[in-house]
Amino acid sequence: MARLHLFDLDGTLLHGTSAPVEISRQLGLEAETIALDQAISSRLIGPPEYADQVYALWADLTEAHVAAAFEAAPWLARIRDVWAELRRRGDYCAVVSLSPAFFVERLLDWGAHAAYGSRFPALPFREPVDPAGVLNAAAKVRIADRLCREFGVTRADCVAYGDSLSDMDLFAAVPISVAVNGSPHLSGLATHSYTGKDLWEAYELVCGAR
């Protein structure tokens, strides 16, 4: 039976940072976005408020900025190797993140079968953010269920990889989970825990688990 591997982005595939911080770094606004990351991690703001505030910071954002941020970001090692191995085994891999879809979807070129993120207007921004398109922790579970139907698997066939509170709902919904450089609370909920900078090493913890 095939398995579906579900990967978080911020703090998981990206080591110690988030896509919005890396995007904002291209505009000289990383400090402001780090503060927003801290606010959402502390639950002082929610995903819609976060999206509105980064949208305001990104008034001058272009596709070139996003491409540069993606290229320079501190990715874990061997992401593409893991996804190539999953495909070789007949498994599926998807990225589900609260970060902007225009960043997350670039991982399709690395071998992900699917990539979901919060929907922002096309660049350069001419329209406001639609709150209905902003993902949250519960949305990760809904997307996972949609992908299960698409790929012909069930929750029992899923493995989740994440690092923070936004992954808690998904970890609770699937039988196997890996906290990748995870917060103490999430690591306590995970079936496996990994600290380091190589996704293959995290994958090896669960490659034979059922």
Does residue 1 have a pLDDT over 90?
no
Mean pLDDT along residues 78-99 = 98
Residue 8 reports pLDDT greater than 70: yes
Flag whether pLDDT at 103 surpasses 90. Answer: yes
Q: What pLDDT is attached to residue 205?
A: 97
pLDDT of residue 209: 67
pLDDT for position 208 = 76
Q: How would you classify the pairing of strands 114-118 and 92-100?
A: parallel
pLDDT of the residue at 187: 87
Assess if residue 70 is contained within a domain.
Answer: no
Residue 42 placed within a domain:
no
Q: Does the residue 198 lie in any domain?
A: yes
List pLDDT tens digits, range 158-197: 999 999 999 999 999 999 999 999 998 898 899 999 999 9
Q: What is the pLDDT of residue 81?
A: 98
Q: Please, which residues have CB within 8 angstroms of residue 191's CB and are 6 or more apart in sequence?
A: 175, 176, 177, 178, 206, 209
Mean per-residue pLDDT, 20-24: 98
CB atoms within 10 A of CB 175: 13
Distance of alpha carbon 135 from alpha carbon 195, whole angstroms: 26
Q: How many helices (H) and strands (E) does the chain have?
A: 10, 6
* Burial track 85-122 (b if 16+ CB lie within 10 A, e otherwise): bbeeeebbbbbbbbbbbbbbebbeebbbbbbbbbebee
Quote the domain boundaries for residue 191: 4-15+75-204
- Kindly tell me if the per-residue pLDDT of 84 is higher than 90: yes
Number of domains in the chain: 1
State the first-to-last Cα distance of the chain, in angstroms, to the nearest integer: 10
Residue 35, pLDDT score: 97
What is the Cα–Cα distance from 27 to 61, expressed in whole angstroms?
Answer: 8
Q: Please provide the DSSP assignment of 106-146 as one string.
A: GGGGGT-SEEEEE--PPSSP-S---GGG---HHHHHHHHHH
Domain for residue 123, yes or no? yes
In-domain check, residue 67: no
Chain centre distance of CA 61: 21
| Residue 64 in domain | no
Binning pLDDT at 50, 70 and 90, where does residue 27 land? very high
Token digits of residue 89: 């085994």
Q: Specify if 34 maps to a domain.
A: no
In a domain, 94, yes or no: yes
CATH for 9: 3.40.50.1000
Confidence of residue 210 (pLDDT cuts 50, 70, 90): low
